[in-house]
Chain A
Amino acid sequence: TAGITQAPTSQILAAGRSMTLRCTQDMRHNAMYWYRQDLGLGLRLIHYSNTAGTTGKGEVPDGYSVSRANTDDFPLTLASAVPSQTSVYFCASSDKGDTDTQYFGPGTRLTVL
């Protein structure tokens, strides 16, 4: 199985443009997550989804939106990108919640100019 895939691998985006980062998992996990990782900081949760059809805000949700139309896909959208959104974005999934291991995708490196 592929586990979690993310696309694109990297992207350079002009400020003010919109973009959707894609995330797909084939493990039939219930929960999915989006994190951003910045140098010198721990991963920070942007949004999460406990099950298909539900989403919730994480620690740094402003400027991002998500949807969870089905179990496998959890896209992250930047409606109007700003330079402070330059980061590496990781998607993750877990079968259940708290005590379950989260499996991470390979990441998307986004640069907003």
Chain B
Amino acid sequence: KNQVEQSPQSLIILEGKNCTLQCNYTVSPFSNLRWYKQDTGRGPVSLTIMTFSENTKSNGRYTATLDADTKQSSLHITASQLSDSASYICVVSKDDYKLSFGAGTTVTVRA
């Protein structure tokens, strides 16, 4: 069973609208949690990274939250743009060099 579960699997939103992606994890002990954006045909690009002591981190219109007690994270996209169409991947780190990746949420932004 994957230690990092993401929901929804995919979603479609209209340009300018907001959306929130969810990530639940069972990785323990927990070191840090990252969100990556992966455009079609490209490698993932880091958006945010949070340690267990941080509960929110922003990167422009992307805001990640973390609740280490419930082992949940969310990624909020504000005022979506067409360029936000991508897969968003939640990654949880247990120890050095070994990360657990979620399967990703595919976001499609339509004009």
List residues of A whose CB falls within 8 A of some B CB. 4, 31, 33, 35, 40-45, 48, 50, 56, 58-59, 90, 92, 97-99, 101-107
- B85-97 Cβ-contact flags toward A at 8 Å (1 or 0): 0000100010111
- For the residues of B in contact with A, the DSSP-based class is strand
Do residues A45 and B98 form an inter-chain contact, with CB atoms below 8 A? yes
Contacts of B43 in A (CB 8 A): 4, 90, 92, 104-107
Of all chain B residues, the one with the shortest Cβ separation from A100 is: B49
Do residues B101 and A44 form an inter-chain contact, with CB atoms below 8 A? yes
Do residues B97 and A40 form an inter-chain contact, with CB atoms below 8 A? no
Interface size on B, residues (CB 8 A): 25
Contacts of A58 in B (CB 8 A): 98
Do residues A42 and B97 form an inter-chain contact, with CB atoms below 8 A? no
Do residues B49 and A31 form an inter-chain contact, with CB atoms below 8 A? no
Residue with the highest number of chain A CB atoms closer than 10 Å, among B2, B43, B96: B43
Of all chain B residues, the one with the shortest Cβ separation from A33 is: B97
Contacts of B96 in A (CB 8 A): 50, 97-98
CA distance A4 to B42 in the complex (A): 12
Do residues A98 and B97 form an inter-chain contact, with CB atoms below 8 A? yes
Do residues B89 and A98 form an inter-chain contact, with CB atoms below 8 A? no
Contacts of A99 in B (CB 8 A): 31-32, 49, 51
Contacts of A35 in B (CB 8 A): 101
Contacts of A44 in B (CB 8 A): 101
CA distance A101 to B36 in the complex (A): 10
Of all chain B residues, the one with the shortest Cβ separation from A98 is: B96
